[in-house]
Structure 1
Amino acid sequence: MRVIGIDPGLRNMGWGIVDVFGSKTRHIANGTCRSSNKESLAMRLMSLHRQLSDVLAIHQPDTSAVELTFVNKDGAGSLKLGQARAICLLAPAQYGLDVAEYAPNQVKKVVVGVGHAEKQQVDHMVRMQLGAVEIHSADAADALAIALCHAHHAQFAGRLDAAIAKAGAA
């Protein structure tokens, strides 16, 4: 199973892709889609959509996961981030992918073991789990953490489904 994790952002949208083979996970690629605050909001969103669509076309993931965002004190900033997050949901859906959503604390709990881990801890644990990989940015590290979280949940769901099927057959 190939998983893309996406960390929403209007200026920097991180993405990370891993392959999952049973209990093994392998890094495929990571990067950051960027937009310029010198452009209009519509042009920035279109640019992010185009960049993320290119990543999806090149790497052809089987499933996707996006981080849920929280509301900031700044309402206008939250609205803009929500619009960028919509691109993170739209682009994979256009490629026919299921899109899972995870709260930041849930991602940190799975990857680090602590729901309130610092960014440096998340980055360190991503590197520990994926080996010697070059991570494009902090946003890409977060996206890889989201992909790892989804891979973990998908593995658990698969084991649970298998156990239920086995119990039903008995």
Structure 2
Amino acid sequence: MAEVIVLGIDPGTRCTGYGVVREVSGQAVLVAAGAIRPPAKATMAKRLGEIYKGIAKVIEQYGPHEVAMEEVFTYKNVTSALKLGQARGAAMAACAVHGLEVRGYNPMAVKKSIVGTGRADKNQVAYMVAQVLGTKARQECESWPADVTDALAMAVCHLNSRRLARLTEAAGGMR
């Protein structure tokens, strides 16, 4: 089985988390993780530009093959949903310019894939991501902001989804 590198993105106008995970022969390994933090007092246009440039830099540095990003979900506050959609659009544009398709995942589906329940809290998600990614991740996990562990969870969820799709295809071919 060939190596695949997945970029997970948790978009936000204040903090966009990213995580790069490599899978070889079914083993997920942490490559990089971090956050893009536009200046707090910057205009929305400046923030979106920073998100675009930051994601483009991550893509250029790590060369992911696939991208997983949080889908916009229902917010009680319409303004928050619009801002998240704009941040997501800036990140998607950076991916598109680099020829990468983006696969969206619902936050509850990610939690279910990682922890086993769609109602898991951020600490449970961070703990399980660290377990999946191994020793280095466990040591660093406590210092990561939630946006970073959420981005890594997106990448791990995507790898789980790919694996399930391959198994389903293989089982269909055996009938």
The TM-score normalised by the length of structure 2 is 0.90
Matched-pair contact (CA < 8 Å) for 1:5–1:143? yes
Question: RMSD value over aligned CA atoms?
Answer: 1.4
Residue 9 of structure 2: which of 6, 10, 13 is its match?
A: 6
Of residues 66-75 and 108-117 in structure 1, the stretch that sits farther from structure 2 once superposed is 66-75
**Letter paired with 2:106:** A
Measure the CA separation in 2 of the matches of 1:152 and 1:96.
23
% of aligned pairs identical? 38
Measure the CA separation in 1 of the matches of 2:36 and 2:56.
10
Unaligned runs of 5+ in 2: none
Residue 15 of structure 1: which of 18, 42, 48 is its match?
A: 18
Equivalent residue pairs, number: 167
Aligned match of 2:162? 154
SS at match of 1:71: coil
Matched-pair contact (CA < 8 Å) for 1:4–1:15? yes
Measure the CA separation in 2 of the matches of 1:72 and 1:80.
11
Residue 88 of structure 1: which of 73, 88, 91 is its match?
A: 91
> How much has 1:86 moved relative to structure 2?
0.8
Q: Deviations over 1:82-130 (max 9, x none)?
A: 1001122221122111211110000000100111000000011111111
SS at match of 1:117: coil
> How much has 1:159 moved relative to structure 2?
2.3
Post-superposition, which runs of at least 4 consecutive aligned residues in structure 1 deviate over 4 A?
Answer: none
Measure the CA separation in 1 of the matches of 2:5 and 2:166.
15
Unaligned runs of 5+ in 1: none
**Letter paired with 2:63:** Q
Aligned match of 1:139? 147
